[in-house]
Amino acid sequence: MAAEIKDRIRTIPDHPKPGIQFRDIMTLLQDPIGLNLSVQQILASWTGERVDKVAGIEARGFILGGAIAVALEAGFVAVRKAGKLPHTTIGVDYDLEYGTDRVEIHTDAIHEGERILLVDDLIATGGTALAAIDLIEQSGGVIVGCGFVIDLPDLGGSEKIRKRGFTVSSLCAFEGE
């Protein structure tokens, strides 16, 4: 099944800068079979788990997370970059290669003890995902696990999440990134 997903992902060389191989899942998502496979395979990793809400990381995590939330009959939480949400927010800052960034959720998005599945398109260094995990935990949520379409294992993000004690599921990996 990983090949069916991987074959639908476009690679754009030297984007956004020379030497980067950008993994574009839009070709996967625009294909009805690819989108369905992605949603169903991420769901399969969490069969039998109670999930109250799915948290999707901006922006492609919204697409996948929304579809997964509907399938699970769960709510959806948007994890957004700073300043994008209209109501009162809480946020977590995290380090980038050069500088910092911030993710936020609404203060009323997650209630104490709710079980949250975190979803995004790609896990690389793990900075954004780990910040989202911290944000969910600060809100009183319990992380059920983390689901990604793509893992870039050489960058170590999935391993960092596992070392924090969380289950990570990914549908395909691009080694040597």
23 flagged as catalytic:
no
177 flagged as catalytic:
no
Per DSSP, the three-state class of 174 is coil
Beta strands in the chain (DSSP E): 10-13, 21-24, 53-57, 75-81, 89-96, 99-106, 115-123, 142-151, 168-173
Residue among 60, 80, 104, 114 flagged as catalytic: 60
Residue among 73, 97, 112, 175 flagged as catalytic: 97
8 Å CB contact between 96 and 33: no
Spatial CA neighbour of 54 closest among 4, 120, 7, 151: 120
Spatial CA neighbour of 128 closest among 100, 149, 107, 153: 100
Cβ neighbours around 16 below 10 Å, total: 7
**What amino acid positions are annotated as catalytic residues?**
60, 97
